[in-house]
Structure 1
Amino acid sequence: MSSSKFRDLSAGSKSLILIEQVLFACALFLAVYVNNVFSVTSVQEMPNSFLLLYGVIFALINQLSSLALGLYNSKLRENFRGVFRRFLLSIAVAFFCSTIINPFYGPYVLPIEVLAIAAVFSMGLVSFFRYFTFKVNFFGLNKAKILVLGAGERAAIIERRMRRDVDRQDFSIHGFVLMDGDSEDGIKSETRIKLETSLVNYALDQEIDEIVVANDERRNNLPVDDLFACKIRGIEITEILDFFERETGQIAVNLIYPSWVIYSDGFASNNHLRNTLDWIFNAIMAVSLLILTWPIMLLAILCIKYTEGFKVPVFYKQERVGLDGDSFDIIKFRSMRLDAEKDGAKMACENDNRITKIGHYLRKYRIDELPQIYNVLRGDMGFVGPRPERPEFVNNLIANLPYYNERHNVKPGLTGWAQLKYPYGATEKDSLEKLKYDLYYIKHRGFLLDLLILIRTVEIVLFGKGR
Structure 2
Amino acid sequence: MRHRYSILLFPLHVFFDLLSLNAAFVGAYWIKFRTLDAVAEPPYAMLWAVFNLVWLADILLLKPYTFPRQLFKAYHLIQKLMLLTAIHVAIVSVFWVIVKGYYYSREHLLITYFLFLIFGSLFRIGGLIFLREYRARGYNNRRYVIVGYGKLATMINRFYEAHPEMGFHFFGYFDQPNEDNQHLLRGNYDQLREYVRQNRIDCVYCCLPYIDNSRLKSIVDDAEDIDFQVKLLVDFRGFLAKGASVEYHDFLPVLNLSSQMLADFRVNIFKRTFDIVFSLSVLVFGSPVFLLMALVTRVTSRGPVLYAQERIGREGKPFTIYKFRSMYINSEKSVPLLSKGQYDSRITPWGHFMRQTRLDELPQFYNVLIGDMSVVGPRPERQYFIDQIVEIAPEYRNLLRVKPGITSIGQIKFGYAANVEEMVQRLRYDLLYPERRSFLLDMWIIAQTVRVMVQGRGK
TM norm structure 1 = 0.44
Which has the higher Rg, Structure 1 or Structure 2? 2
TM norm structure 2 = 0.44
Structure possessing the higher relative contact order (Cα contacts under 8 Å, 6 or more residues apart): 1
